[in-house]
Copies of this chain bind each other. A is one copy, B any other.
Amino acid sequence: MDRLIDAINKMKNPSVFGLDPKIDYVPQHIREKSFSVFGKGALGAADAIWEFNKALIDALCDIVPAVKPQSAYYEMYGIAGLMTLKKTIDYAKSAGLYVLLDVKRNDIGSTAEAYATAYLGKTQIDGDLYEESFGCDAVTINGYLGTDGIKPFTDACKQYDKDCFALVKTSNPSSGELQDMDLAAGGAVCEKMAALVEGWGADNIGAHGYSRVGAVVGATYPEHAAKLRALMPHTFFLVPGYGAQGGKASDVAANFDKNGSGAIVNSSRGIMCAYRKGDYTPEQFAQAARDEAIRMREELNSIL
């Protein structure tokens, strides 16, 4: 997690912008141009999203340390969408951003190894190390299957200097249905998951005191954050749910440690669709995103 924390410290900005580009979020003038060249189908949509992402990366890469593409919004447009995802990852890395791909993958060990290879490692073919397939800096994972489904990810993190973030307490309204259930042995399901996550990273703690296995802890449940922060002293938090989902800056304070480190807060729609608020024209979407990213940075720094 050191690379991410160094980037946050350098920019004095504990935030990450999400690229969850539904085609509806892309300003009309970009869509029209792409549809005129590639048709009003998946190819046109994928091209419009690529142009949108590129402009947002250009507008934000010197003030925000990390980007979080959400894989679902690319898978949705099939192969064309996935090609845009791959181009977006490569472009973001070339712009110096830490790329955290939100895929929430999970499976038994042998299959988890294939996922870890796909997103963090290098694919081996007949004994030769082949190039990276997606080559991200980090991925999100889901620990419902337990340790042997996670180990291939933690192994890849060590081997390739990467990170992963496991779901602990998610930001959505129904997250409590399972995650808040009390266990007979004490604590809730999400606290048991917290203990597992802290353990999965325990043998690989970096210079800043955080392991390579982070936790996803939603901004929308501040009452959980303080408890989980205490349960996971060596676990860096990825905090979704700020902004469009209702989480406020005051809500996310408890996710940080006493030094104002230990967490990174995500905003997706708030930044991508910033041009729809205030006096911006759709053509000014990149400037609007930058203004919102600066406002968010200042707001987060004000509560730390």
Q: Residues of B contacting A142 with CB < 8 Å? A: 104, 106, 142, 144
Max chain B Cβ within 10 angstroms of own Cβ: one of A35, A45, A82:
A82
Q: Which residue of chain B has the shortest Cβ distance to A180 in the bound complex?
A: B146
Contact call B178/A196, Cβ cutoff below 8 A: yes
Contact call A148/B174, Cβ cutoff below 8 A: yes
A114 close to chain B: CB less than 8 A: yes
Chain A contact residues: helix, strand, loop or mixed: helix
Contact call A145/B172, Cβ cutoff below 8 A: yes
Q: How distant is A37 from chain B, measured CB to nearest CB, in Å?
A: 15
Contact call B20/A111, Cβ cutoff below 8 A: yes
Q: Which residue of chain B has the shortest Cβ distance to A245 in the bound complex?
A: B108
Copies per complex of this chain? 2
Q: Residues of B contacting A183 with CB < 8 Å? A: 181-184, 189
Q: Which of A115-123, A157-165, A293-301 is near enough to bind chain B?
A: A115-123
Instruction: Report how many residues on chain A are interfacial, defined by Cβ distance under 8 Å.
Output: 75
Q: Residues of B contacting A123 with CB < 8 Å? A: 42, 45, 76-78
A207 close to chain B: CB less than 8 A: no
Contact with B along A96-136 (1 / 0, CB 8 A): 00000010111111111011011100010110101101100
Inter-chain CA distance A31–B184, complex, in Å, is 53
Inter-chain CA distance A149–B128, complex, in Å, is 40
Q: Residues of B contacting A146 with CB < 8 Å? A: 172, 174-179
A249 close to chain B: CB less than 8 A: no
Inter-chain CA distance A148–B22, complex, in Å, is 19
Q: Which of A8-16, A53-61, A67-75, A272-280 is near enough to bind chain B?
A: A67-75
A65 close to chain B: CB less than 8 A: no
A147 close to chain B: CB less than 8 A: yes
Inter-chain CA distance A177–B148, complex, in Å, is 10
Contact call A23/B131, Cβ cutoff below 8 A: no
Contact call B178/A193, Cβ cutoff below 8 A: yes
Max chain B Cβ within 10 angstroms of own Cβ: one of A110, A148, A179:
A110
Contact call B181/A182, Cβ cutoff below 8 A: no
Beyond A146-B175, A178-B193, 7 additional contacts (C-beta under 8 Å) are A45-B125, A72-B115, A75-B115, A77-B133, A78-B133, A79-B82, A149-B172
